Structure 1
Amino acid sequence: GNDVWDWHERLAQHSDPGYAEKGQLTVTYLTDAHRACAQRISHWMRDCGFDEVEIDAVGNVVGRYKPATPDGKYLMTGSHYDTVRNGGKYDGRLGILVPMACVRELHRQARRMPFGIEVVAFAEEEGQRYKATFLGSGALIGDFRNEWLDQKDADGITMREAMQHAGLCIGDIPKLRRDAARYLGFIEVHIEQGPVLNELDIPLGVVTSINGGVRYVCEMLGMASHAGTTPMDRRRDAALGVAELALYMEQRAARDGDSVATIGMLQVPGGSINVVPGKCSFSMDMRAPTDAQRDAMVADVLAQLEEIAQRRGLQYKAELAMKVAAAPSAPAWQHRWEKAVDALGVPIYRMPSGAGHDAMKLHEIMPQAMLFVRGLHGGISHNPLESSTADDIQLAVDAFSHVLQQLAAE
């Protein structure tokens, strides 16, 4: 646990220009800081005793610890090493460094398992420099879109140029696709990124499902008019229509208990203090542990949007910007995490993940299950205050090792 905590501190020394000078952690796809992190991780993997270590065609760092017999399957695990802007040290990286410590112990004991262990430090999960979220894990399931190569970052550098500058072989990307028949499954350790475990004072949580989500980019259209001379019953206020919808979304999501709904962007373009808003741009983000639960909420919200617009004399546009399926944990793999947590004397607490993870991509081709580790400071994440303790990390290492022992005994 202490070593893994130290690795996080050392990895956090690398940060993009403009942030490093302020003491902030920002590592975006294929920047110098990103490539330095990849080198650091690859060297640590070799030090830990991995048999093969490579940086692949999209920048993933892949370490393999071979099985006892050449025909043995592999367990895949890992997470991402890129960060959001001014983010935290543990988001993603915990899921790389915890299994590395477990492999190091196996190597120290000169032990081989009946299966191999493949740890993947995914190059791009956050989608900060380019709009290519889950690029690293997506490439492993054959989901790399060539149109991404033409995207430009804020400095006008295309992804293709960034990859070529980093020495990556774009032509080899299709070869990264994994044959699911060669794998037992995928497991991921991740900091919770929320307040639940912290409030319950429980160090570990077993993930039941990664929430499925939809995002809409929307516009409400009314009539701009004089704020002083337009009577209240004659107004077609676009912003009030959205405000009413926002309150409904809050109530509708709360009805399910574990659904969430958010209007994260809300603005009146060209608005003035003395003008009734004629237009309001807004976003909608809705997530739930199952697709059916999510879709029922979305249907209700869209119906409410229609009703509000009709009643208030407004028009609207709602464009679907993203739709991601829920990723329920494979029952057998979730049970292995539960057995591991129970063996450590930690209460078994089951919970959905509201955030997206690389495990969602691997879920498309193989069984997956996740373990959450409690975060400090109210569980805040995507924030410099994101934190963990060596003691909680030690429990995560022990739980991961326990799952390895379970698999070996099966």
Structure 2
Amino acid sequence: MNLGNLAYEKLEALSQFTDSGEGITRLFLTKEHREASNYLREIMEKAGLEVEMDNIGNLIGTYRTSKNTDKTLVLGSHQDTVKNGGKYDGALGIILPIVALEKCIKDGIELDYNVKIVSFGDEEGVRFATTYLGSKALAGTFTEDLLERISEEGTSLRDELINFGLNPEAIGECRLKENVTAYLEIHIEQGPVLEHEDLAIGIVNAIQGSHRYQIDIEGIAGHAGTVPMKYRSDAGIGSAEVMVEFTNYIEKLDGIVATFGIVELSPGSINVIPGKSRFTLDIRSLDNNLIASSVEKFKEIVSKVAERRKLRFKVENTNIAPSCECSSRIINMLEKSVEDIGYKPFNFPSGAGHDAQEMKNLTDMGMLFVRCKDGISHNPLESVKSEDLEIASEVLVEFLKNYN
């Protein structure tokens, strides 16, 4: 069986660990997280790796060279998904390194450095409305206030870590202490560029920055039939006005996108004027200054609408991931690996955020993208070709053999 088919088979096996419903739902610190980690532990150990789980729920498989060195290359991605997501987002970047490293070990190729393959417990940020918890811990950027983040179920991150059998007080010890010389992440593109270019793989040269906010707007709930429109303090209409006005503003700009992904109205009855509204904003660009100025414009719009409609509001930042460039050293090595298997390198930026952004705080980082059908991701229709997985695996094997 070639590496692409082997990776595809393991990805299918990993996809069985999901909550009920359409697509894949595997959230941080859940039964599905534990089951997926048990499976990944099994295949890591079969590949010859030493395996441990740290106190943020990252599963780490380690290859130790016999050479006298502490130099370590880190490979990885995230095991968690969005709700009703696909089989390959995150998972691909765990399975392909296992397959490629196992190939090197079986072929008797001894690397001159150590390797760690990481299955990050949380990247998507679904349960606690903040992203990259796993990579923040490894990179040393995790802050204690994150332990007080509240889940959708009303429990704190601190309590959920304890329930999972982990020690939240020891998260500071998760920071990698080895001489980490680089971090490389393999990921599906989550967009249509590679498919339009008719390419199986692409090298990432930069990652868009992203800011996330949670906005609470409060008015006065009332009877839908007895309160005239001009006397209302309608939190729902106020939120809608903010979203439409800010969208109109963003659509006039180039190089930036904004998404209102969650909208909740309370009390949520057909015959009651909404007294409370909560919604989220996700804003992204390669230009950090453009994000900053757009956020200020958003706050200005919220304030203006709230004043006119007699509403109270709160805008809370839940995550900031600045845009960043990938390491030229890693890009050059990926280009050589692509050329070594007979392909022409193609470089382009990532529109999505990744654990690589946090790992850049620790070491040089790079990314390799794999084509996905129709550019679809965060969706049960997410799909990859085993032939593309084979090409990506070959590139990774070459990278491992030649990395220095």
Question: TM-score, normalised on structure 1?
Answer: 0.81
The equivalent of 1:110 in structure 2 is 108
CA distance in 2, matches of 1:138, 1:44: 25
The equivalent of 1:81 in structure 2 is 79
Q: Secondary structure at the match of 2:403?
A: helix
Q: Secondary structure at the match of 1:79?
A: strand
Corresponding position: 1:190 with 2:193: no
The equivalent of 1:399 in structure 2 is 395
Q: Secondary structure at the match of 2:40?
A: helix
Give, in angstroms, the shift of residue 282 of structure 1.
Answer: 5.2
The equivalent of 1:373 in structure 2 is 370
Give, in angstroms, the shift of residue 295 of structure 1.
Answer: 2.8
Amino acid at match of 1:294: I
Corresponding position: 1:334 with 2:331: yes
CA distance in 2, matches of 1:174, 1:240: 41
CA distance in 1, matches of 2:273, 2:162: 51
Give, in angstroms, the shift of residue 197 of structure 1.
Answer: 1.9
The equivalent of 1:291 in structure 2 is 288
Give, in angstroms, the shift of residue 300 of structure 1.
Answer: 5.6
Do the aligned partners of 1:126 and 1:133 also contact (CA within 8 Å) in 2? yes
Amino acid at match of 2:7: V
Q: How far does the alpha carbon of each residue in 1:348-395 deviate from its partner, in whole angstroms, 9 at most, with x for none?
A: 33222222211111111211111111111x221111111111111111
Do the aligned partners of 1:125 and 1:135 also contact (CA within 8 Å) in 2? yes
Give, in angstroms, the shift of residue 39 of structure 1.
Answer: 1.3
Q: 1:216 to 1:137 in 2, by over 3 A?
A: closer
Do the aligned partners of 1:290 and 1:328 also contact (CA within 8 Å) in 2? no
CA distance in 1, matches of 2:181, 2:33: 30
Do the aligned partners of 1:221 and 1:314 also contact (CA within 8 Å) in 2? no
What is the percentage of aligned positions where both structures have the same residue?
33
Q: 1:303 to 1:331 in 2, by over 3 A?
A: farther
The equivalent of 1:4 in structure 2 is 7
- The counterpart of 1:62, out of the listed 56, 60, 67, is 60
CA distance in 1, matches of 2:81, 2:229: 49
Q: Secondary structure at the match of 1:361?
A: helix
CA distance in 1, matches of 2:280, 2:165: 38
Do the aligned partners of 2:306 and 2:313 also contact (CA within 8 Å) in 1? no
CA distance in 1, matches of 2:368, 2:382: 17
CA distance in 1, matches of 2:280, 2:167: 37
Select between 100-109 and 398-407 the one with higher mean Cα deviation. Answer: 398-407
The equivalent of 2:204 in structure 1 is 207
Corresponding position: 1:353 with 2:356: no
Amino acid at match of 1:9: E
The alignment covers a number of residue pairs equal to: 394
CA distance in 2, matches of 1:359, 1:336: 17
Do the aligned partners of 2:190 and 2:377 also contact (CA within 8 Å) in 1? yes
Do the aligned partners of 2:22 and 2:380 also contact (CA within 8 Å) in 1? no
Do the aligned partners of 1:72 and 1:114 also contact (CA within 8 Å) in 2? no
Corresponding position: 1:140 with 2:138: yes
Select between 360-369 and 208-217 the one with higher mean Cα deviation. Answer: 208-217
Corresponding position: 1:364 with 2:361: yes
Give, in angstroms, the shift of residue 407 of structure 1.
Answer: 1.7
The equivalent of 2:233 in structure 1 is none
Aligned-pair Cα RMSD in Å: 3.6
Q: 1:319 to 1:131 in 2, by over 3 A?
A: closer
Q: How far does the alpha carbon of each residue in 1:298-335 deviate from its partner, in whole angstroms, 9 at most, with x for none?
A: 4566667778899x898885624243211221122122
Unaligned runs of 5+ in 2: 231-236
1:3-402 paired onto structure 2 within 5 Å: 3-16=6-19, 19=20, 22=21, 24-50=23-49, 52-151=50-149, 153-155=151-153, 158-179=156-177, 182-218=179-215, 238=238, 241-242=241-242, 245-252=245-252, 255-256=253-254, 258-265=255-262, 283-299=280-296, 317=313, 319-322=315-318, 323-376=320-373, 378-402=374-398
Do the aligned partners of 1:268 and 1:279 also contact (CA within 8 Å) in 2? yes
Do the aligned partners of 2:243 and 2:260 also contact (CA within 8 Å) in 1? no
Give, in angstroms, the shift of residue 403 of structure 1.
Answer: 1.9
Question: TM-score, normalised on structure 2?
Answer: 0.83
